[in-house]
Structure 1
Amino acid sequence: MTPDELSVALTASLQAAVAAGEITAPAESIPAELRVERPKNRDHGDWASNIALQLSKAAGVPPRVIAETLKARFEALDGVASVEVAGPGFLNITLEAAAAGALAKNIVEAGAHYGENSSLAGQVINVEFISANPTGPLHLAHTRWAAVGDSLARVLKASGATVSREYYINDAGSQMNNFAASVFASIKGEPTPEGGYPGAYIDELAHTVLADHPAIRELTDEAALPVVRHAAYQAQLADIKETLDDFGVEFDVFFSEQQLHSSGAIEKAVERLREQGHVFDQDGAVWLRTTDFTDDKDRVLIRANSEPTYFAADAAYYLSKKDRGFEQKIYLLGADHHGYIGRLKAIAACAGDDPEHNIEVMIGQMVSVNGARLSKRAGNIVELRDLLDWLGADALRYSLGRSPANSPLSLEPEQLKKATNDNPVFYVQYAHARTKAVDRNAAAAGVGEVSAEFPFDASLLEHPTESELLAALGSFPSVVSEAAKFREPHRVARHLEVIAGAYHRWYDACRVTPQGEEPITDLNRSRLWLNDATGQVLANGLELLGVSAPERM
């Protein structure tokens, strides 16, 4: 019995009790769906519900009275072995072995879709993350949001939302001019200009530009710089995309800030906000009255010299997301961007949106890697590409994804490279590889391969370690749903470690393949279903984290 199947049965039972007059409460207080959760203590049953406590006030009776009524009805459901009323009115539900064990077959048949849920169905979400300037390679400061942002998009999608991953390319403004001047200086063999970008990667870009434009030195600075700027920008952006691809991070949209300027989108955005009544003119400049929406000060949109500010581009960009149909916009920003929260929410409010619903700003704390060396190419940074070469994408992504992003994180490379249980990514990946080894051993022993016709008796899965493992597997969809709801993909990683631990204990206690001359029984075959179900859930969870599920280690 899956959690969804149990939820449907319990909901119908609750509604029947209401219809029979056994529970009297206003219709609006009766949930359309009665959800259950795994109790922290396995001695308290397979599933638990606090529905009696939820209905007590509306029904005007103590929660235990409601709980006792529901206990009788719930115990009559097929697959339910017993129901216990605990504490002030909690309902602890224990399933029959066959009902609990049936989950293994359901998981295998669901395959890669197990864990998907509809908790965010109908929501259209834009997730913007990284958005590093295209003036240099991605580095350590970008790694955390690269891993977390991509995993967040995956769990949102798995929970039914329509999701777009977006990278905002800051390709306008003075930093791009300094970037072009730095590359052109390298082409001409001159020192890095004041305010320019040093580093060997600038020389590499200079060689690339010169190869494509061999006569560039013959042009005047005025004629050459736009050519250099465009060519170097395209080469650096290609390097960023290649690094992201190696890191397993996908984007649906690369949005150019320069297009906001060249298309007139900024001017149109200012006029739209003026029509909303939030724009005013003062001291020759154009302002947005963001103090009406808790910002600490009003913001300049257009300077007195008619030049738009970065804030104006931010406003136009927000309106672009709104116009493209994204009801919810999630911004993942660095630790030094706390000041952006108020102004971005003020933009949302000025645009007529609800800043508490239509926009979320997540701030990620710093990450450090002990022993990491500065890049030889960029000189004063730790490049993401170097980290990938050193630690590998799997170890880096998993270790970044298993901790809350709003807490500082220090990674220990020596631990991440160890093939021991002290290394979380190895612990989980090894559990998956072990399920595949069990498959190979079972096939060699003649147990067969799991399929629709393969014998399966769920009632045989009654060993305590099997109950523990089934409980962990059954919780996976709700963990994915909560990870999406709370924007915390690390919940998936932590639950995979719970599953891996339960699986290793089961592996030590219960054999799938018979020993010696022992005959092959339905117990062996049924345990193979549980083994494969575990492998499937581990693979599905690792996929949500952007980490591979190896078959051999």
Structure 2
Amino acid sequence: MGVEDADARLEEPKDPSHGDLATNVALTLAKKLGRSPRVIAEEIAEEITSRISSHIDTEDFGIESVSVAGPGFLNFKLSSGQVASGLMEIIAADDNYGRSVEGGGESLMVEFVSANPTGPMHLGHARQAALGDAIAGLLDWTGWSVSREFYYNDAGAQIDRLAESVGARYQQHFGQDAEIPEGGYQGDYIREIAADLAEEHGDRFVEDPLSEEALDVMRETAVRMLREEQDRDLSDFGLHFDVYFLESSLYENGQVESTAAALRESGKVYDLDGAVWLRTTEYGDQKDRVMIKSDGSPTYFLPDVAYHMGKWGRGFHQAINVQGADHHGTVARVQAGVQALGLPEGYPEY
């Protein structure tokens, strides 16, 4: 037809009855040729049909038939020999079918599930587990050096509320009048943790359940027991993680503090109403975000930025996070935080 730069693309039709492959090339040629796409498609189909009928071995040709549909779509039905040749390839490759070296052995992290150790896992976590493990498996199969990571949010206000909730149930266990704090955790599993504490420590903390020592024990015991339960659930689900990373370690080794200092040095931080803000709007966020609250405590996204800077520092310049819908709001601010510290746009991927 005299067109040298024709954009011919083959796709699988949504409706299998339309054939095995389809193309809209006639529609893309219509403007260049100044002709009806339907007429162009019919001419192409006629030429292909002619070649099929004149071919000695139609199986070798690979196409059984071609038809025109709608305004000018071409639908192809593959010959049985062509389909069988694909099966032979699969059989010959055996367990290695689909494997490739596309990733070139480059390190890549997939972080998924990362459930807070404040309660049992639910179906949403199971979805993330299945999705994350499938993504990690596909990447591993295509030549990436994949590390599966679980990030435990075992620090911050939510863990303090967990400890206080266990403390209240611990007091109730010994007949004391105590209430779960506002925003605390009400589940029966809190009673179970409190009962274990009572068995191990007796009434040692009843008189002063909010002492630093008491809350440390409540916090440590609750997180440990809930992590153990989560680990059992993940194991029953057939999941294996290469790394279990603790948020608390970011505070212990000074990474949260050093990240806050680095962000301030970047010039992307300002003070307002006693709080420290990060100019996340410069990186596409809807509004600037509080990084450190007026009471001096960090918001949850500051340790997240520190954690992802650590990922990069560990050599994972490709990182994918599989998160639930309740975490989608954190995407822009975390990406903004790491960009402010020099990492590329779009890191990590979600």
**Quick check: TM above 0.5?**
yes
Aligned counterparts of 1:223 and 1:242: Cα–Cα separation in 2: 29
Counterpart in the other structure of 2:323:
332
1:358 paired residue among 341, 347, 350:
347
Counterpart in the other structure of 1:194:
181
Aligned counterparts of 1:74 and 1:266: Cα–Cα separation in 2: 69
Change (3 A) 1:282 1:261: same
Aligned counterparts of 2:106 and 2:51: Cα–Cα separation in 1: 33
Aligned counterparts of 2:192 and 2:276: Cα–Cα separation in 1: 42
Aligned counterparts of 2:109 and 2:10: Cα–Cα separation in 1: 30
Q: Is 1:99 matched up with 2:86?
A: no
Q: Is 1:174 matched up with 2:157?
A: yes
Tell me if structure 1 keeps the 8 A contact 2:266–2:341.
yes
Shift of 1:216: 5.0
AA aligned opposite 1:271: A
Matches within 5 A, 1:513-532: none
Shift of 1:289: 0.8
Q: Is 1:24 matched up with 2:4?
A: yes
Aligned counterparts of 2:252 and 2:169: Cα–Cα separation in 1: 28
AA aligned opposite 2:13: P
Map Cα deviations across residues 23-44 of structure 1 (whole Å, 9 max, x no partner).
634xxx98xxx97443345565
Higher RCO, Cα 8 Å, sep 6+ = 1
Matches within 5 A, 1:294-373: 294-324=284-314, 325-334=316-325, 336-353=326-343, 355=345, 357-361=346-350
Map Cα deviations across residues 313-359 of structure 1 (whole Å, 9 max, x no partner).
1221232233331424334233x44543442343354344554x434
3-state DSSP class of the match of 2:115? coil
Aligned counterparts of 1:249 and 1:239: Cα–Cα separation in 2: 14
AA aligned opposite 1:182: S
Tell me if structure 1 keeps the 8 A contact 2:301–2:334.
no
Tell me if structure 2 keeps the 8 A contact 1:321–1:329.
no
Number of equivalences: 332
Shift of 1:81: 4.0
Map Cα deviations across residues 435-467 of structure 1 (whole Å, 9 max, x no partner).
xxxxxxxxxxxxxxxxxxxxxxxxxxxxxxxxx
Shift of 1:173: 1.6
The more displaced of 299-308 and 167-176 is 299-308
AA aligned opposite 2:181: E
Tell me if structure 1 keeps the 8 A contact 2:62–2:81.
no
1:248 paired residue among 238, 249, 256:
238
Matches within 5 A, 1:389-408: none
2:224 paired residue among 226, 234, 240:
234
Tell me if structure 2 keeps the 8 A contact 1:79–1:98.
no
RMSD: 4.3
Counterpart in the other structure of 1:206:
194
Tell me if structure 2 keeps the 8 A contact 1:71–1:91.
no
Tell me if structure 2 keeps the 8 A contact 1:71–1:84.
yes
The more displaced of 246-255 and 85-94 is 85-94
Aligned counterparts of 2:51 and 2:179: Cα–Cα separation in 1: 76
3-state DSSP class of the match of 2:323? strand
Shift of 1:227: 2.7
3-state DSSP class of the match of 1:150? helix
Map Cα deviations across residues 354-373 of structure 1 (whole Å, 9 max, x no partner).
54x43444xxxxxxxxxxxx
Q: Is 1:47 matched up with 2:21?
A: yes
Change (3 A) 1:205 1:70: farther
AA aligned opposite 2:250: L
Tell me if structure 2 keeps the 8 A contact 1:178–1:197.
yes
Change (3 A) 1:169 1:252: same
AA aligned opposite 2:228: A
Shift of 1:201: 1.9
Map Cα deviations across residues 374-430 of structure 1 (whole Å, 9 max, x no partner).
xxxxxxxxxxxxxxxxxxxxxxxxxxxxxxxxxxxxxxxxxxxxxxxxxxxxxxxxx
1:38 paired residue among 12, 15, 19:
12
Map Cα deviations across residues 69-117 of structure 1 (whole Å, 9 max, x no partner).
9959996794524463745775544444333223333333434444556
The more displaced of 228-237 and 243-252 is 243-252
Change (3 A) 1:226 1:41: closer
Aligned counterparts of 1:162 and 1:69: Cα–Cα separation in 2: 49
Gap runs ≥5 in structure 2? none
3-state DSSP class of the match of 2:215? helix
Shift of 1:239: 0.5
Aligned counterparts of 1:184 and 1:223: Cα–Cα separation in 2: 12
Aligned counterparts of 2:146 and 2:250: Cα–Cα separation in 1: 22
Shift of 1:301: 1.7
AA aligned opposite 2:85: A
Give the alignment's TM-score, normalised by structure 2. 0.73
Gap runs ≥5 in structure 1? 1-21, 362-553
Aligned counterparts of 1:180 and 1:49: Cα–Cα separation in 2: 62
Map Cα deviations across residues 237-287 of structure 1 (whole Å, 9 max, x no partner).
110111122233443332222112221111222233344432234455432
Identity %: 37
AA aligned opposite 2:299: T
1:183 paired residue among 162, 166, 170:
166
Aligned counterparts of 2:338 and 2:47: Cα–Cα separation in 1: 46
Q: Is 1:84 matched up with 2:73?
A: no
Shift of 1:143: 3.9
Tell me if structure 1 keeps the 8 A contact 2:164–2:181.
no
Map Cα deviations across residues 40-85 of structure 1 (whole Å, 9 max, x no partner).
455654333456767x599989885995799599967945244637
3-state DSSP class of the match of 1:286? strand
Aligned counterparts of 1:216 and 1:233: Cα–Cα separation in 2: 20
Tell me if structure 2 keeps the 8 A contact 1:134–1:236.
yes
